Structure 1
């Protein structure tokens, strides 16, 4: 099992960062065909072969994605897509 773990600082405030995290989650859900749900300041997502979370705090956003054996070879691509999305949504 491969894990992608990325933390990015932001200066948006927690509520705006949560709105942006939702946009990121929508993109992930579309690309990964995942189901998403908020629990407090953490958005969790799950699909066959991958699951993870987006945790939003006052100063940063942390994205953790665990890839199953079939998706592990895509770890680099998934990490790159998440980094691009974080840069876009947290700018």
Structure 2
């Protein structure tokens, strides 16, 4: 079960949604030293102690993040930052 789960509605065509998701992933990768990889319409990301997916669906993006024990203390601030980036990039792309 994910420690952080955020759903962001959008009105973007698939390619624009992928571009927005990539911006979210690039921001996370730069800030948290994560690797990312696309598999169809799902972007996976990971680093030591953190793993997750950002799945694109029609009119919705869903990000789920699992944290190991040491990172659980940072779940609140991390959730706020990711939610802010999701809102920013998915609204900005519209």
Is the structural similarity TM-score above 0.5?
Answer: yes
Q: In 1, Cα distance between the equivalents of 2:2 and 2:87? A: 22
Which runs of structure 1 show a deviation greater than 3 angstroms over 4 or more consecutive aligned residues?
none
| Structure 1, unaligned runs of 5 or more | none
Contact map agreement 1:52 1:64 (CA 8 A) in 2: yes
Greater shift, 16-25 or 2-11, is seen at: 2-11
Tell me the secondary structure at the aligned position of residue 31 of structure 2: helix
- Secondary structure at the residue paired with 1:71? helix
Matches within 5 A, 1:9-88: 9-88=9-88
TM-score (norm 1): 0.95
Distance 1:78 1:70 in 2: 13
What per-residue deviation string (whole Å, max 9, x for no partner) do you get for residues 30-85 of structure 1?
11111100000000001000000100112100011111111100000110001110
Query: RMSD value over aligned CA atoms?
Result: 1.3
The number of equivalent residue pairs is: 91
Q: Residue 7 of structure 1 corresponds to which residue in structure 2?
A: 7
Q: Tell me if structure 2 keeps the 8 A contact 1:18–1:56.
A: yes
d(CA) in 1 for partners of 2:2 and 2:12? 30
